[in-house]
Amino acid sequence: MAGLARRCWPLFLCLLWPFAAAPDTPAEESVRVAAVVDGDTLALVDGRRVRLAGIDAPRPPLGVAKDMIWHQAEAAKAALAGLAQDRVVTLRYGGAPSDRYGRVLAQLYREDGLWLQGEMLRRGLARVHSYADNRALVADMLSAEDEARQARRGLWRDPVYAVRRAEEAGRFIESFQLVEGTIVDVAKVKGQVFLNFALDWHSAFTAHLPRSALPLFRESGLDPSSLKGATVRLRGWVRFDARPMIDVTHPEQIELLSRP
């Protein structure tokens, strides 16, 4: 725990710029936790709910009864309760301050400095799930997630959360997945980019980069057209539109495992 904090803190100082609050939102605030809702959501004493930005804890998928005991969901909730219940936490804002459900989005730090997102990831009880408008500290979160995956902690021992091969991604439509494979072709169509994982682009899995994502890629220095032949790990919601695909809205969704 202390080692993770020491590794993350210098990078956090360098990345303070993402914590730019939206108008009328403080850069940070401290509030006591009243209750734990699930593995990534807390209720505060002032009545607000806060979602731990950038992570996704286990929860039943759509269509599964809410009262069903789901893989690792109770373990994640219990862990977060042990970390945060009745504690004072500091909320630091790094992008959109709330989601469409009205929940606050923030990076959370306990009064003793423990970073809750990093700890849940390090324990293997959450996966990194960032958005184009909320990307602060993603590199640190990916590092903590990778540490847990390599050690097979928590959900990384469970086949339900296995990293999928590109050729099997079509079996997991309408779910959040990590998908690994080699990009065999890069196609540009009407201002969009498609990273294809097989020559049969009509039916094989692809990553779709909408036009709105390309400025973020330019800012990051990652040129999608240079990825042909690269082996990557993608993360995102698998959907079907003539073929299985993940919409890639920001560069942090692509982890480069090996270059062409």
Are 18 and 128 part of one and the same domain?
Answer: yes
Are 121 and 44 part of one and the same domain?
Answer: yes
Are 69 and 111 part of one and the same domain?
Answer: yes
Residues ≥6 apart with Cβ < 8 Å to 173: 238, 239, 240, 244
Are 26 and 94 part of one and the same domain?
Answer: yes
Percent helix, percent strand, percent coil in the chain, to nearest 5: 30, 30, 40
**pTM over cut 0.85:** yes
CA dihedral for 50, 52, 58, 63, sign (positive or negative)? positive
Are 113 and 190 part of one and the same domain?
Answer: no
CATH assignment of the domain containing 233: 2.40.50.140
Provide the domain limits for residue 178: 163-258
The continuous run of DSSP H or E covering 6 comes out as helix 2-14
The two three-digit tokens of residue 192, written as one number: 């969009």
Are 138 and 180 part of one and the same domain?
Answer: no
Where does a domain end: 157, 176, 196? 157
Block residue for tokens 């220095």:
221
Amino acid 48 reads R
The per-residue pLDDT for 15 is 38
Q: How many domains does one find in the chain?
A: 2
Rounded CA separation 87/76 (Å): 17
Rounded CA separation 43/31 (Å): 10
From residue 23, alpha-carbon distances to 8, 26, 27, 131 in Å are 27, 8, 10, 20
Are 137 and 171 part of one and the same domain?
Answer: no
Are 35 and 75 part of one and the same domain?
Answer: yes
Rounded CA separation 144/96 (Å): 23
CATH assignment of the domain containing 92: 2.40.50.90
Are 26 and 103 part of one and the same domain?
Answer: yes
Are 235 and 148 part of one and the same domain?
Answer: no
Where does a domain end: 110, 141, 157? 157
Are 115 and 178 part of one and the same domain?
Answer: no
Rounded CA separation 85/181 (Å): 40
Are 28 and 146 part of one and the same domain?
Answer: yes
pLDDT averaged per 10 residues in sequence order, the chain, 260 residues: 40 39 70 97 98 94 67 95 98 94 97 97 98 96 98 97 97 96 96 95 94 97 96 98 97 95
Residues ≥6 apart with Cβ < 8 Å to 6: none
For 171, which DSSP code? G
Where does a domain end: 140, 157, 174? 157
The per-residue pLDDT for 178 is 98
Rounded CA separation 49/41 (Å): 7
